[in-house]
A = this chain, B = another copy of it.
Amino acid sequence: MWGHLHAARLPDGYPQFFARAEGGHVWDADGRRYVDLMCAWGPVVLGHRDPMVEAAAARQAALGDTLNGPAPVMVDLAERLVDRIAHADWAIFAKNGTDATTGCVTIARAATGRRAILVAEGSYHGALPWCTPVPAGVTPEDRAHQHRFRYNDLASVEAAADAAGQDLAGIIVTAFRHDNVVDQESPDPAFARGLRALCDRRGAALILDDVRAGFRLHPAGSWEGLGVRPDLSAFSKALGNGHAIAAITGREALRDAAARVFLTGSFWCAAVPMAAALATLDALATRAVVPRLAALGQVLREGLAERARAFGIGLRQSGPPSMPLLLFDGDADFRLGRAFCAAAAQAGAYLHPRHNMFLCAAHDEADIATVLDAAEAGFRALRAMPGAG
């Protein structure tokens, strides 16, 4: 079992295996149904088994999936991404978010002929030795040429860039601060603009890690609302509404470097996830998913805040409302969070005690009401805990 899904790390009574899912709901292996606020840790943005996406996937599957090269749908998908993503002049496809972030770093190094990459302390960019949050099996050399800065602290970026000196190849940064187990933070617009200016000044590549947030906050790339366009973006999760796909998009100036880097994988030209991604991008636009998620998230946030206040519980909500993180005051060991989530699960809502969650477009007002009722059961459980104030 992958570490973060190990039974020992789940709240008491939490399901470890899942039997099925539909729209905004998931059923565990014992047949219990939940309003799903994890959405497969991000990939599901329209809803599980979205009929339009699954129909597109089935049409392609009837023709073929993993072939000797790409199917024509790859051209359509690349063109759609280039149309949609503000900075993108080209796109290349992979499987994992980590494939995309690693590819961006490698392309930045190939393009500049330099080695140093600036990485924010605590940011998650994937699960390979260069970026994994867990040190087991990692050597110091796996992290060579990395300089740390603090998210939203431009002075720390300037200091890291100075430390990198003439060797600065690029800066990789998440769309917002969604580090594990700390309150989430939106990017300060001045911080984002400062990164752009620094990269321009130093001839380095600005890499936006949009794996987690991509297509949930802005249809043209998560920093488009800030008016800041990266040189390279890494996408994955929501791109295929649950089908395994990742993408790197880049500016024209990086095209040659991207072509020189050896990027490949046995299933990277699989056509079914590309057909699913094309349908997902279409649905994101026609269904106006980004504002829909934001509105649902706002109802959830306000409802949770009201109920937490009524119970006198110190609940901290952070991040974009459509990607909420819930943390409790004085809960360093997540004892409160786990008890809250366990009670909410009993009441039919699948929440997470330490990771940000994800709404999807299949959630409706009734689902949010179910989640709020389940949260109320969770707050009640906290009140009933030994030692509760």
Contacts and interface: CB of A to CB of B under 8 A. Distances in A.
A106 B41 contact: no
Interface stretch (A139-147, A223-231, A321-329): A139-147
- By size class, the interface of chain A is 35 or more
Contact of A128 (B128, B136, B141, B144): B128
A68 B36 contact: yes
A201 interface: no
A67 B26 contact: yes
Contacts of A237: 266
Given A6-B259, A41-B266, A244-B266, 11 more contacts: A1-B92, A16-B70, A18-B70, A68-B350, A96-B96, A96-B267, A106-B129, A134-B262, A137-B257, A137-B260, A244-B244
Pick the most buried of A61, A129, A236: most chain B CB atoms within 10 A of its CB.
A129
Interface string A261-292: 11111111110010000000000000000000
A242 interface: yes
B262 A244 contact: no
Contacts of A269: 2, 5
Given A144-B141, A265-B127, A40 B19 contact: no
Contacts of A138: 106, 109
Q: State the number of copies, please.
A: 2
A367 interface: no
Contacts of A6: 259
Interface string A53-65: 0100100011111
Interface string A64-100: 1111111110110000000000000000100111110
Contacts of A67: 18, 21, 26, 40, 48
Contact of A244 (B95, B110, B350): B95
A335 interface: no
A115 B139 contact: yes
Interface string A7-44: 00000000111111110001001000000101011111
